[in-house]
């Protein structure tokens, strides 16, 4: 079990609400994906998701879990089936992300794993929360943008929503201003690093995202 999942340590919800940022790693090179995860952790990204459509994703999670410190909580993304949940948990994932309301949501809840459940419409978002999701992964957020999040929160002001999909630095600032509990960021943060690209550029982007998302957290707490 990952240290952040253990009793007496910071909870997933606490980390999500405090740091307001989840990085999404998806790549074609397992070694590069691992280096990307470790670099993000070193730059202070506390929540790092490895998508299961990454090459040797479970191996990347397993290797990263053995190397990251207790300040980083590894998750598995693009989780669709009950078997996906079991394999991700065995590899060391401490939280789960789904692209839609599939069997993986209830399987994660049964396994005691925090889950961000993918949803787009109000009906899907309510269904995600009723299924036991810790937060709604608003996906693809780029379809409606920050204005759609604002409209969604009008009838559901207390619903924890994490926009994902095309969230760049400027978009992250707008989503957070409109009440997102956090943002999930893939290529605008990771770039080509998980494919063997520039780690120095990744680190620079990570520092900018961490600073932006942490800004004002204490005021909102």
Active site residues: 49, 137
Q: 24 pairs with which residues across the strands? A: 49
On whether the CB atoms of residues 193 and 36 are closer than 8 A, the answer is yes
Q: Could you list the beta-strand ranges (E) of the chain.
A: 21-25, 47-51, 73-77, 95-97, 115-119, 135-138, 161-163, 183-185
Six-digit token string for 33: 């994906």
- Print the SS3 string covering 140-178: CHHHCHHHHHHHHHCCCCCCCEEEECCCCHHHHHHHHHC
Q: Is 117 helix (H, G, I), strand (E, B) or coil?
A: strand
Query: The tokens of 110 are what?
Result: 């049964």
What three-state secondary structure class fits 162? strand
């Amino acid at each position: 079990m990952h240290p952040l999942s253990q009793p007496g340590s910071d909870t997933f919800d606490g980390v999500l609400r405090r740091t307001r940022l989840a990085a999404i790693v998806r790549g074609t090179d397992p070694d590069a994906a691992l280096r990307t995860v470790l670099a993000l952790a070193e730059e202070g990204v506390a929540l790092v998701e490895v998508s299961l459509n990454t090459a040797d994703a479970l191996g990347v999670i397993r290797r990263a879990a053995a190397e990251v410190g207790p300040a980083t909580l590894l998750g598995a993304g693009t989780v669709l089936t009950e078997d996906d949940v079991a394999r991700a948990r065995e590899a060391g994932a401490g939280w789960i992300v789904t692209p839609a309301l599939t069997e993986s949501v209830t399987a994660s809840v049964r396994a005691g794993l925090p889950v961000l459940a993918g949803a787009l419409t109000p009906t899907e978002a309510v269904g995600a929360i009723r299924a036991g999701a810790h937060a709604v992964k608003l996906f693809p957020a780029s379809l409606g943008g920050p204005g759609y999040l604002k409209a969604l929160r009008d009838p559901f002001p207390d619903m924890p929503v994490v926009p994902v999909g095309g969230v760049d630095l400027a978009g992250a600032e707008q989503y957070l201003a409109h009440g997102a509990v956090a943002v999930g960021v893939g290529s605008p943060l990771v770039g080509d690093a998980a494919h063997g690209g520039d780690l120095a550029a990744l680190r620079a982007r990570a520092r900018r995202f961490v600073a932006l998302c942490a800004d004002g957290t204490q005021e909102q707490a």
